[in-house]
Amino acid sequence: MKKNIVNIEDKIKKSLDAIRPSLQADGGDIEFVSFDKETGAVKVSLTGHCAHCPMSQITLKEGVEAILKKEVPEVKTVKN
């Protein structure tokens, strides 16, 4: 079972790596914190300009969460 979680986390991290350049272009970044297999919740940390940006929740939900849910079906929500 642990191996399955690791594979899901690897997929999430790979997707975040693809998203990262867009955030870095605006002076921010994103870091993977954890994945809860029970709830499908991914916890991330927005850093740099993204940490305090008033648009960060929109970026998180409409950008990061939408992409992760599409690329990693086990993901149900993304939280900062």
Q: What span, in angstroms and rounded, lies between the C-alpha atoms of 14 and 44?
A: 14
- Stretch among 11-15, 53-57, 63-67, 76-80 having the lowest mean pLDDT: 53-57
Residue 3 has pLDDT above 90, yes or no: no
Per-residue pLDDT reduced to its tens digit, 5-54: 569 999 999 999 999 999 999 899 999 999 999 999 999 999 999 888 88
Q: What span, in angstroms and rounded, lies between the C-alpha atoms of 1 and 32?
A: 20
Domains of the chain by residue range? 2-79
Q: Which CATH superfamily is domain 2-79 in?
A: Fe-S cluster assembly (FSCA) (3.30.300.130)
Token pair 């939408």 is at which residue?
A: 66
